[in-house]
Amino acid sequence: MLVLLDSANCPIATSARPWDRLMARVRASRLDSDLAGEALPDSTVALALRAQLLVSERTRRDLAEGARRLLATAIQTPAAGRSLAPALGRSPVPAIGRSPASPAGQSPAHGARGPQMPAARRPRVPICPDRVRESAEEFEELIRRLLADGPVAARGVALASALLRDGGGPLYHRASADDVRARLREAVTALDPLTG
């Protein structure tokens, strides 16, 4: 059951059909852009479904982990002018589920202790490590807010997701003129359900 606002801003109850759920998944990127902008989460069924997913504990935890990996990669990356390949070849966080006794290259997915999590994924797009390092304080605040108990606004999660996942954005594309610190602060502020 979803509660939406009609054209007179009166709440109306509606239910989501399987088709609505499918379309919310297919149009996730567009819906995230709308939510990061001025779209209200309770204006359409698709936006309401996407907003519910964005504010879920799992999505917030996944974004926080992505931000941590990005920050760890930037810290481990050599100074400017050197190749990112060696730093990106190593996972910035320990591989999940891989025991020290596992031989290199062997998947421990079904080891003696049962099924385990796959290894953490490496970033596929090289980052601008200096921009990430310069914004370390803001990254830490974003991570803290994403993992905090209590409700968050979908707009803040959408802004954080867009920043972390946009390969053409300022974290990955040197030509982008966007200010990483300002974008992170905007996302943190927008996570507050009273202001977001």
Please check the confidence at residue 171 and state whether its pLDDT lies above 80: yes
Distance of CA 112 to the CA centre of its chain: 33
Residue spans of alpha helices (H) in 77-153: 85-89, 129-134, 136-147
- Whole-angstrom distance, CA of residue 141 vs CA of residue 179: 16
Specify the pLDDT at position 6: 59
- Whole-angstrom distance, CA of residue 15 vs CA of residue 63: 28
Please check the confidence at residue 103 and state whether its pLDDT lies above 70: no
Question: How buried is residue 163: exposed, middle or buried, by Cβ count under 10 Å (0-12/13-18/19+)?
Answer: buried
- Whole-angstrom distance, CA of residue 77 vs CA of residue 100: 24
Specify the pLDDT at position 191: 96
Per residue in 46-59, pLDDT (tens digit) is: 999 999 999 999 99
Specify the pLDDT at position 112: 47
Task: Summarize the confidence of residues 160-174 as an average pLDDT.
Answer: 92
Task: Summarize the confidence of residues 78-103 as an average pLDDT.
Answer: 40
Of the listed ranges 60-64, 93-97, 191-195, the least confidently predicted one is: 93-97
CA distances from 154 to 34, 130, 187 (A): 11, 29, 10
Please check the confidence at residue 82 and state whether its pLDDT lies above 50: no
